[in-house]
Chains A and B, each alone.
Chain A
Amino acid sequence: MESATALFSLIIALPLVGFLINGLTGLFVESYRNKRQLIGSIASTAVFIPFVIAVYFFINMNSGSEALVYKFFTWIEAGTFSVDVAYRVDQLSVMMTMVVTGVGFLIHVYSMGYMSHDEGYWKFFAYLNLFIFAMLNLVLGNNLLLLFLGWEGVGVCSYLLIGFWYTDMAKSDAAKKAFIYNRIGDFAFLIAMFMIFQAIGSLNFDVILGNLAELSDGYKVAIGLLMFVGATGKSAQIPLFVWLPDAMAGPTPVSALIHAATMVTSGIYLISRMSPMYAMIPEVMIVISIIGALTAIVAATIAITQNDIKGVLAYSTVSQLGYMFLALGAGGFTAAMFHVVTHAFFKACLFLGSGSVIHAMEHVEHGLHKEGKDVHFDPQDMRFMGGLRKYMPSTYKTFLIATVAIAGIPPLAGFFSKDEVLAMTMNAGFVDGGSWVYMMLWGVGIITAFLTAFYMFRLTLTTFHGSFKLPTKIKEAVGSEKFLHENPWTMTTPLWVLAGLAIIGGFLGVPNFIVETFTHEPAHINLLHDWLYKINADYIIVMDHWVEWLLMSVSIIIAVSGVWLAFRMYNNDQQEESDAKIASRFGGIYSVWKDKYNLDDVYEGFIANPTVKFSEKILAVFDMKVVDGFVNAIAGTVRLFGSLFRYLQTGVVSSYALAFVIGVIVILYLMIS
């Protein structure tokens, strides 16, 4: 193996090795399970070294570099079908690898603190490593099938980690739900692969993207739609997004890593990877944008009504993923990837921050228990929080930074990426043959941006500002603020790193027009755009600079007004009155939001339950009574005849012999004639 291949193989292999060491030793050697420092260090190192190697590859690459392909062995081969275990390092995959391993490493470190008292510590880190392994296969795979291996692999890890505290049936329900909803998407993905193989004869990205002409228009549309359905499963879009909020049942670092920063962006990665094909099918592109925009606003409206700190973040994630699809469908593949990256920073920071808060609230509960007070409350319910900034300064500051970032206030990361998403959406309305629908979707995006700023500050202000409300809600908890304190450095350091990235991350993609307006010649300050130009088939920006300035100004005004409104309504302990005020203002529709559009009930009531009932009451009975009954009926008929023929069974051997001879003669006669 040459040295570059060997170096590369470490990226993939180390997380797997980490998984095997911690997983197998933990399973079979009970004493190992308590060597927490060791377990955590092994797991974190197994992710950190790949990060360093990925950075090395990144440094040795430029935007024009050809993809490096590392083939290890032939995976599946039969007849005309052949697929390799081969990885590709190119501009897109190296970027994703850095995000996955970088953010992944921070979350590993954080988990060493967060999970320090959990009895399944070893298992948790084994699963995290396995997840990173699967995720790296997903982003680095050189063909669709290896991507699919990662795709399903992250699904299993997600299943294992959501249901990590499996003794709670609700949590294992959430895990199962996530897996099954993902499988619905995977089913579509599989069909898309069959179609591609049938038409092109290969699942390699190079071959597929180089032979798009082989695909008929109908096939392109079908494949495009099917892959998008696959993406709606993994990336939690309408109609399959309902699993993601439930997935918050998993430990909070899992929510940050899998259900915010990495796995859920796989669908966006997939479409970005296939962007040359998507650019040829505008009718599918518009569907993607519509679904994305609808998901964004639907989830945002739900987020306004939630009281669970992780619940708000979960819906916020769904909403932000919707933004990414909005951009994809508008030909802003790079814009979508940009939002993937910045979102990974600030949303991971927010989730880890919420974990820090939950950890502190749990600590309060334990403290009260130690004092002999039998107090139970939901440590994730923000109605019990408030005023936490005094006790948890690092958590507060980092959370606030990330909130400002997601709200879209310049110059933080979310501002630039969201602005590019919205600009590309509007742009799609202007390009040749562009549809006015995109302009309306821009409007949906702007409303969502307002809602985002509003609900995120509602969350932050209610949690950290005002006064600590637990004592006012529960009498026994008076004085419980003494149990509140900031978490150890293993937890706060990752918060600060991520907050830092949430501040500067936006400078990866500062729009070119800011400079071009003044220099009147093409600028190259949008680093990400230049970096991904070979891979992403982005639409060209056709808007005039003044339009872009206008759009940007609108975004800023919208974001600021959202923040302003949230401050007016939530800064001083008035969360519940304000929520009630909104509820009365919006009436019926508010309860729709609060009930999450009743999608779960619809799916359960119209699909899941009827299927189970049908299988149980009709199919299973049918199987016993009809299918088997038919067999029994035949047997019964035979028995009837048998009882008639019983008279022929004389029990005398010689009569059998006679019958035998007659039979032979008959057969011989038949054969000769």
Chain B
Amino acid sequence: METLLNITIYLPLLGIPLILLSKNENMKKWSALLVTSATFLVSLPLMFNFDVVNSGVAQYLTEGGRISSTLDIKYLVGLDGLSLLLFMLTTFMGPIVIISSWNSVSKHLSGYLAMLLILQTASLGVFASLDLLVFYVFFELSLIPMYFLIGIWGGSDRIRATLKFFIYTLVGSLIMLVGLIYVGYDAGSMMPGVTFTLDWRFLSSDIYQIGLVEQTYLFLAFALAFCIKVPLFPFHTWLPYAHTEAPTAGSVVLAAIMLKMGTYGLIRVCMPLFPNAFMEFAPYMATLAVIGIIYGALVAMVQKDVKKLVAYSSVSHLGFVVLGIFALNTVAMQGAIIQMINHGLSTGALFLIVGMIYDRRHTRMIKDFGGIAKRMPIFTVMFMIATLASIGLPGLNGFVGEFLILNGSFFSELYDNKVFAILAASGVILAAVYMLWMFQRVMFGPLENEENKKLIDLNAREIGLLVPLVIFMFWIGIHPVDFTKYSENQVTELIITSKEKSIAVLETSKNEELPEWATSFYGVNDETESESLMVSTN
């Protein structure tokens, strides 16, 4: 099984020599498809054999040797409850992404497919790595193929968009790197026999505690990197550019998988490593999340380009995820995790759908459409389902995540303020407004534009592309337990550990000299603070 995990991660790379050896375009595409499909199939046993009860313990572990006896830097991959679903989403999207660009890319096809495959490996690596240095390497590695995908195969303004995307996210991750090096040495000093370690199992355990002052800076460094990636308001402006200029496949991977690296990082790193800062900053993060939900929705509403609209809707949707993460209870956190998957499915589908009409009409402007439901009934149904999933209709996937997130944040002790959940819930109204308004202007009304009268409905390839996504939209909507069960136990345990750790850190801090701001920010001398935490942990 451990081998299987490694095979899954690196199998996509095998496609690159295959593609380079292929003689014609078709063979290149088929080899890419073959490799990604194989990756997906190989990954399935990882899900089926996953020990749900012990989801808090990393499974299928591969642990390499340390690079030196004192530096605990090593190859360490495995899956646990936090990563399994995102890992599976990534392998699932692999073939879909390849098929989606079957006819729409001709320029430098080999390079294009190779980039998608590298991206696949990098993304899988991000979710599977349990050593934060390995995590960082994959995290950075995923940037490069996306940089080229947008920069070479993107739209007219692609250079500017890709530079913005690259520099923005790179700045974030370089700051994170500084944080990582600090944590590495700090943790190393607490681990017998080494000077440096970034083993997540050690970092997240209650043995390793970071002082309050350090937590503050570290949290901010990591959170900045992840929030840019999410992207959380106000760090989102690279996203609309990147999405509008990216080729369809790029947008799909970006939305479905890469944005999740940000929210995933918040859960994986920020919560267990810096629990005190995580909890004290929660209201501020939630504020940004709620602003993002409403702001993203309002800006989405007035977009004239369908793709840009979907991009802004991502800002809104991921605001929900961040809100759920910082509520720090199982209900909301589980909602956030399933919502990451949901967003991947429905926004992924929406980008595919936008790509399909773009392939036909070479425009994405809402005003160029209208009445095309008449010409494309199957397309209409798919589009409608993705739209309804995106606006959180019960019975479809989006509702499950949104409901759990809002419900959990409503009673979150961290915010201790119902306003967050209430304001965020108004997002469900706004989502209906911008999505249905767009849908109406694109699909309904009289069919007047001559170009649109020639539109042809989806072909078998395109239907085949969307049907799996639609199946999962319904599956998660109707029986989400099949998915949420994987993370349930780990989330519960991790929240408890993090809370306990925060109490312990607070206790230790009482005997330390701290700057005044830290004392008051963390309420070190505030007796009730730790007591109330103690209660909520039980």
Contact = CB atoms under 8 A, between A and B. Distances in A.
Interface in B314-337: 329-331, 334-335
Nearest to B181: A667
Most B Cβ at <10 Å: residue of A159, A187, A194? A194
Q: How large is the interface on A (under 10, 10 to 19, 20 to 34, 35 or more residues)?
A: 35 or more
B449 interface: no
Interface in A489-537: none
Given A79-B334, A176-B437, A179-B432, A167 B301 contact: no
B444 A166 contact: yes
B426 A187 contact: yes
Contact of A172 (B238, B432, B444, B480): B444
Contacts of A80: 330-331
A602 B408 CA distance: 36
A78 B428 contact: no
A582 interface: no
A450 interface: no
Interface string B438-471: 0010011111000000000000000000000000
A169 B445 contact: yes
A193 B378 contact: no
B488 interface: yes
A623 B394 CA distance: 32
Given A79-B408, A166-B443, A180-B436, A616 B429 contact: no
Contacts of A197: 407, 410-411
Given A152-B394, A176-B437, A179-B436, A74 B481 contact: yes
A586 interface: no
Given A78-B334, A169-B444, A194 B406 contact: yes
B191 interface: no
Interface string A49-82: 0000000000000000000000001111111110
Interface in A133-187: 145, 148-149, 152-153, 156, 159, 163, 166-169, 172-173, 175-176, 179-180, 183-184, 186-187
Contacts of B481: 73-77
B371 A27 contact: no
Interface residues of B, number: 63
A619 interface: yes
A614 to B, nearest CB: 8
Given A190-B406, A635-B167, A198 B411 contact: yes
Nearest to B443: A166
Contacts of B238: 631
B132 interface: no
Given A75-B480, A78-B330, A628-B237, A612 B406 contact: no
Contacts of B394: 145, 148-149, 152-153
A614 B298 CA distance: 9
A179 B185 CA distance: 56
Most B Cβ at <10 Å: residue of A611, A616, A623? A623
Given A76-B403, A186-B428, A198-B410, A153 B479 contact: no
Given A80-B330, A612-B302, A27 B374 contact: no
A620 interface: yes
A167 B331 contact: no
Contacts of A198: 410-411
B422 interface: yes
A671 B188 CA distance: 13
Given A74-B481, A78-B331, A194-B421, A166 B433 contact: no
A615 interface: yes
Nearest to B182: A671
A186 B373 CA distance: 28
A191 interface: yes
A166 B407 CA distance: 36
B404 interface: yes
Contacts of A145: 394, 403
B299 interface: yes
Interface in B160-190: 164, 167-168, 185
Contacts of B373: 166
A644 interface: no
A184 B408 CA distance: 21
Nearest to B492: A79
Contacts of A190: 403, 406, 425, 428
B497 interface: no
Interface in B401-419: 403-404, 406-408, 410-411
A364 to B, nearest CB: 25
B386 interface: no
B393 interface: yes
Nearest to B195: A671
Given A169-B445, A615-B302, A27 B378 contact: yes
Q: Is the interface of A mostly helix, strand, loop or mixed?
A: helix
Most A Cβ at <10 Å: residue of B298, B381, B406, B437? B298
Contact of B381 (A27, A77, A166, A611): A27
A4 interface: no
A631 B168 contact: yes
B320 to A, nearest CB: 13
B407 A183 contact: no
A615 B480 CA distance: 35
B234 A627 contact: yes
B295 interface: yes
B20 to A, nearest CB: 31
Given A79-B492, A156-B393, A180-B429, A194 B411 contact: yes
Nearest to A23: B381
Contacts of A156: 388, 393
Contact of A167 (B295, B378, B406, B447): B447
Contacts of A153: 393-395
B432 A27 contact: no
A614 B399 CA distance: 28
A78 B488 contact: yes
A195 B411 CA distance: 8
Interface string A226-261: 000000000000000000000000000000000000
Contacts of B479: 73, 75
Given A79-B492, A631-B237, A167 B445 contact: yes
Nearest to A82: B481
Contacts of B478: 75
Nearest to B421: A194
Contacts of A74: 481
A78 B336 CA distance: 11
Nearest to A611: B298
A194 to B, nearest CB: 4
A269 B403 CA distance: 23
Nearest to A159: B436
B484 interface: yes
Interface string A575-614: 0000000000000000000000000000000000001101
Interface string A611-641: 1101110011001100110110001000000
A78 B489 CA distance: 10
13 contacts: A76-B400, A76-B403, A77-B480, A148-B394, A149-B394, A152-B399, A172-B445, A612-B301, A619-B302, A620-B302, A623-B237, A628-B237, A631-B164
Given A79-B334, A145-B394, A620-B299, 13 more contacts: A27-B377, A77-B480, A78-B330, A78-B484, A79-B492, A153-B395, A166-B373, A166-B445, A176-B436, A197-B410, A197-B411, A198-B411, A619-B295
Interface of B: 164, 167-168, 185, 233-234, 236-238, 295, 298-299, 301-303, 329-331, 334-335, 371, 373-374, 377-378, 381, 388, 393-395, 399-400, 403-404, 406-408, 410-411, 421-422, 425-426, 428-429, 432-433, 436-437, 440, 443-447, 478-481, 484, 488, 491-492
The 4 closest A-B pairs by CB, nearest first: A79-B330, A78-B334, A628-B237, A194-B410
Interface of A: 27-28, 73-81, 145, 148-149, 152-153, 156, 159, 163, 166-169, 172-173, 175-176, 179-180, 183-184, 186-187, 190-191, 193-195, 197-198, 611-612, 614-616, 619-620, 623-624, 627-628, 630-631, 635, 671
